[in-house]
Amino acid sequence: MTKYTEPKYRTIHEAEANELESLKEKVAASLWKPAFHIHPEHGLLNDPNGLAYFNGAYHVFYQWFPFGAYHGMKHWAHVKSTNLVEWERLPTALVPTEDYESHGAYSGASMEVDGKLYLYYTGNIKFSAEERSANQCLAIMEKDGQVRKYDKNPIIKGVPAGFTGHVRDPKVFKKGNMYYMLLGAQREDKTGAIIIYESKDALDWSFKGELKLDLDLPESCYMLECPDYFEIQGQEILVVSPQGLEAKKHDYQNLYNVIYALGKLDIENLTFDVTSYEELDKGFDFYAPQTFEGKSNERLMFGWAGMAEVEYPTDQEDWAHCLTLPRELDIVNSRLIQKPAKELKQLRSKSQSDVRTLDNGSTKLHSGFLSFELEASIESSGADSFGVELFSSETEGLVLAFDRSSQTVSLNRENFHTSFDKENGLVRSAELSIGDSVKVQAFVDRSIAEIFINDGEVVFTTRAFPMQQSTGVKLFTDKKLTCTYTIHQLKSNNSL
């Protein structure tokens, strides 16, 4: 059969003379390029892949299409760090040159086996614009950093009976003496599922079956992407990125969403009994997260701060998206909470602290930093409606508002000259029990804000594309409040 081709299915080896250099130059001039978030040098980034602390360093791979801000031939780009804040770019780890990955090296995860890092990924195969299949593949990274594709690839050829060609995103782990692989899948009736393979040696895999997951997902859910499974303090957690959910009050407002479920996995009986589940992040731009074990056995997570099928303002500049910051996950009161990794404190340079009391109105707390962290504690027992505006100027601002009467926190991004993604709504919200005080910790980095409320109880990941002068932080309220705050200027990661 002749191979299905389209110009977007070409690898970086097929770049034209000076093509990559001129892309690099164009992107380097962007006003919106983050200073310390992992982002592509040019082209499009999506899911974090293969995350690991391995051989004394953090390795982050990500889905990468080098030639522009659209989804084409996916490669695995690679960055490395010893401290989680200074990242070094390494040569592209996976370039899809083989027949078993003819239309891209899709997402996957890693696992250390015998002192080597096994990188599992999906070889995407397209027969036409609509028809596809998938192979599961392996690449092995040695301690010296060399990445080689396994010579017996693919390790799983094609998809099991009963499923369409949408089977992808291997997540592997060991339980007892066996290795297991979770994969996102689509049943033949076009509904989403998670399937499991098992292996004794992490190389030869056999199909075990579909995981029975008692999440009451609607029939409209047509695909489950990027499954993840891990434990924190003995509590088992499953994270998945479903497509086709229906929006409900505060939930699933984005085109695609992410949920986590607490429960119990019975791998022999192929069940995950769910005790509770909810949406993981309440912002506009968050998808396909992946977790891994950090240096001190903590559970870390990176997500893709972006959304498929949405046009972003930087598309014009031939680059799109970034990853979130690394977050440390924990379980508190039977909920998954997310905090910025403690290593991020190393980014702080100049810091300014103050206390401000305000009675009805607004006041500017700071301006002038393009990349900063805000830590604010707001004592607000009298106020019904109050909050903080980021990327603030006379005419722009991202508004984080607390509303006591409805016990909600919301984020509004309608006030920007460069607006985008209007079709999917301009406000996101979450339920929050608002007591006498609330805590806000926000990381702002040119075109991204990650906002952690009450130590990670609610998190909003959001892109915004402000004018250069919109660097203010503003406080507003309808009644009296006192805000104690610190603003840290954050260092730029020069090598990214």
Residue 323 lies near ligand FRU (rule: CB under 6 A) = no
Residue 225 lies near ligand FRU (rule: CB under 6 A) = yes
Query: Closest distance between ligand FRU and the C-beta of residue 453, in Å?
Result: 26
Residue 169 lies near ligand FRU (rule: CB under 6 A) = yes
Residue 168 lies near ligand FRU (rule: CB under 6 A) = yes
Residue 307 or 398: the one with the smaller Cβ distance to ligand FRU is: 307
Binding mask 51-70 for ligand FRU (x = CB under 6 A): ------------x-------
Identify whether the C-beta of residue 93 lies closer than 8 Å to the C-beta of residue 139: yes
**What does the DSSP 8-state code read for residue 314?**
G
Residue 256 or 372: the one with the smaller Cβ distance to ligand FRU is: 256
Q: Quick one: which of 33, 36, 40, 46 contacts ligand FRU (CB under 6 A)? A: 46
Residue 288 lies near ligand FRU (rule: CB under 6 A) = yes
* Binding to ligand FRU, residues 438-467 (CB under 6 A): none
Residues acting as catalytic residues:
47
Residue 225 or 317: the one with the smaller Cβ distance to ligand FRU is: 225
Three-state SS annotation for the chain = CCCCCCCCCCCHHHCCCCHHHHHHHHHHCCCCCCCCCCCCCCEEEEEEEEEEEECCEEEEEEEEECCCCCCCCCEEEEEEECCCCCCEEEEEEECCCCHHHCCCEECCCEEEECCEEEEEEEEEEECCCCCEEEEEEEEEECCCCCEEECCCCCCECCCCCCEEEEEEEEEEEEECCEEEEEEEEEECCCCEEEEEEEECCCCCCEEEEECEECCCCCCCCCEEEEEEEEEECCEEEEEEEEECCCCECCECCCCECCEEEEEEEECCCCEEEEEEEEECCCCCCCEEEEEEECCCCCEEEEEEECCCCCCCHHHHHCEECEECCCEEEEEECCEEEEEECHHHHHHEEEEEEEEEEEEEEEEEEECCCCEEEEEEEEECCCCCEEEEEEEECCCCEEEEEEECCCCEEEEEEEECCCCCCHHHCCEEEEECCCCCEEEEEEEEECCEEEEEECCCCEEEEEECCCCCCCCEEEEEEEEEEEEEEEEEEECCCCCC
Residue 290 lies near ligand FRU (rule: CB under 6 A) = no
Residue 107 lies near ligand FRU (rule: CB under 6 A) = yes
Q: Quick one: which of 54, 61, 106, 391 contacts ligand FRU (CB under 6 A)? A: 106
Identify whether the C-beta of residue 272 lies closer than 8 Å to the C-beta of residue 239: no
Binding mask 16-45 for ligand FRU (x = CB under 6 A): ------------------------------
Residue 63 or 392: the one with the smaller Cβ distance to ligand FRU is: 63
Residue 386 lies near ligand FRU (rule: CB under 6 A) = no
Query: Closest distance between ligand FRU and the C-beta of residue 288, in Å?
Result: 4
Residue 228 lies near ligand FRU (rule: CB under 6 A) = no
Residue 49 or 410: the one with the smaller Cβ distance to ligand FRU is: 49
CA 219, CA 305: separation in Å to the nearest integer? 27
Structural tokens at position 246 = 């229906």
* Binding to ligand FRU, residues 173-192 (CB under 6 A): 184
- The count of chain residues that interact with ligand FRU, using the rule CB under 6 A, is 15
Q: What region does 391 belong to: left with phi over 0, alpha with psi -120 to 50, or beta?
A: left
Residue 149 lies near ligand FRU (rule: CB under 6 A) = no
Residue 73 or 390: the one with the smaller Cβ distance to ligand FRU is: 73
Query: Closest distance between ligand FRU and the C-beta of residue 355, in Å?
Result: 43
Q: Quick one: which of 102, 110, 122, 471 contacts ligand FRU (CB under 6 A)? A: 122
Identify whether the C-beta of residue 358 lies closer than 8 Å to the C-beta of residue 481: yes
Q: Per residue in 197-220, is it b (16+ CB within 10 Å) or e — as a string? A: bbbeebeebebbebbebebebeee
Residue 47 lies near ligand FRU (rule: CB under 6 A) = yes
Residue 66 or 184: the one with the smaller Cβ distance to ligand FRU is: 184
Residues of this chain that interact with ligand FRU (CB under 6 A) are: 46-47, 63, 74, 106-107, 122, 168-169, 184, 225-226, 287-288, 308
